[in-house]
Amino acid sequence: MSELTIITTLDGSHSLLNTTLNETYHSTHGAVQESIHVFIKNGFEFFLHQNQSDEINILEIGFGTGLNALLTWQNATQTNRRINYTSLEAFPLDIALAQQLNYPQALSVDDADMKFTKLLHAPWDVETEMRPNFHLMKRLIKLEDANLGKENFDLVYFDAFAPSKQPEMWELPILNKVTLALKASGVFVTYCAKGQLKRDLKSLGLTVETLTGPPGKKEMVRAVKTTL
């Protein structure tokens, strides 16, 4: 059983330290600013600007603390498009622990507390309409065991623990599975920028960009599935 401790990152927002892995759920330089930079700015907003579809299917690898889902829902209120948000998590947090995280306060948005509570309490393996334009499906399953199908998702947030801590999550067969689940012109985004990851994504037919990382991290990766 992993021991989890709440820590405060440099932007004032909380994260969790997994003492078994000696790994944090977010950057110690700032949990909220990392998620905004990697997954919202360079993932969600990038996709919105590049595509005009009325419906966007997002796959998140690692629901974790719910921060990425909260930020996506918050940003979804600024668009008329319907967001279908699927998040995989093999080891969900205890809700009582997760609700101690200060993300609603860190975001300084009136309804953030309500949204965060609804996200944490949403049932597993049931599609839930959080709002008319935001539908959530939290799946209690390992990525290795999940049937993702083919070309079902427009955008992937790959937010597993680092390759040094969870190498099996970054191996080529797993990346191939996720790539197959991406639609043509779909976007894969992650905080990781290791050379092997970039080589593997390129080998799977994705166009890979190395972007400036969030504070405290030099680089990150965004990859787009090439349209044949």
Tell me how many domains the chain contains: 1
- Position 202 in a domain: yes
CA dist., res. 73 & res. 87, Å (int): 13
Q: Is the pLDDT of residue 1 over 80?
A: no
Percent of the chain with pLDDT over 70: 98
Q: Between 172-181 and 195-203, two packed helices, what is the crossing angle to 10 degrees?
A: 50
The single residue listed with the structure tokens 């944490």 is 120
Please, what is the average pLDDT of the chain?
A: 95
For residue 2, being part of any structural domain is answered with: no
- In this predicted structure, the answer to whether residue 169 has a pLDDT above a threshold of 90 is yes
Per-residue burial over 86-101, b = 16 or more CB atoms within 10 Å of its CB, e = otherwise: bbbbeeebeeeebbeb
13 found inside a domain: no
* Full-model pTM: 0.96
pLDDT digits (tens, 9 = 90+) for 111-144: 999 999 999 999 999 999 999 899 999 999 999 9
Domain with residue 111: its CATH number is 3.40.50.150
pLDDT of residue 202: 97
- Render pLDDT for 57-110 as a digit per residue (tens, 0 to 9): 999 999 999 999 999 999 998 888 999 999 999 999 999 999 999 999 999 888
Q: Which amino acid is at 204?
A: L
| 10 lies in some domain | no
What are 88's strand-pairing partners? 61, 139
Nearest to 69 by CA among 10, 123, 135: 135
Q: What is the pLDDT of residue 109?
A: 81
Cα–Cα distance list, 146 to 60, 184, 186 (Å):
12, 21, 19
Structure tokens at 223: 């990859």
- Residue the block writes with tokens 């080891």: 91
Query: Which run of H or E residues covers position 214?
Result: none
Assess contact for 158 and 143: CB atoms under 8 A.
Answer: no
Does some domain include residue 19? no
Q: Is residue 200 situated within a structural domain?
A: yes
Residue 84 lies in a domain: yes
Q: Which element (helix H / strand E) includes 74?
A: helix 67-76
Residue 111 structural domain: 30-225
CA pair distance 190, 213, nearest whole angstrom? 10
Is pLDDT at 2 greater than 80 in this prediction? no
Tens of pLDDT along 12-39?
A: 999 999 998 899 999 999 999 999 999 9
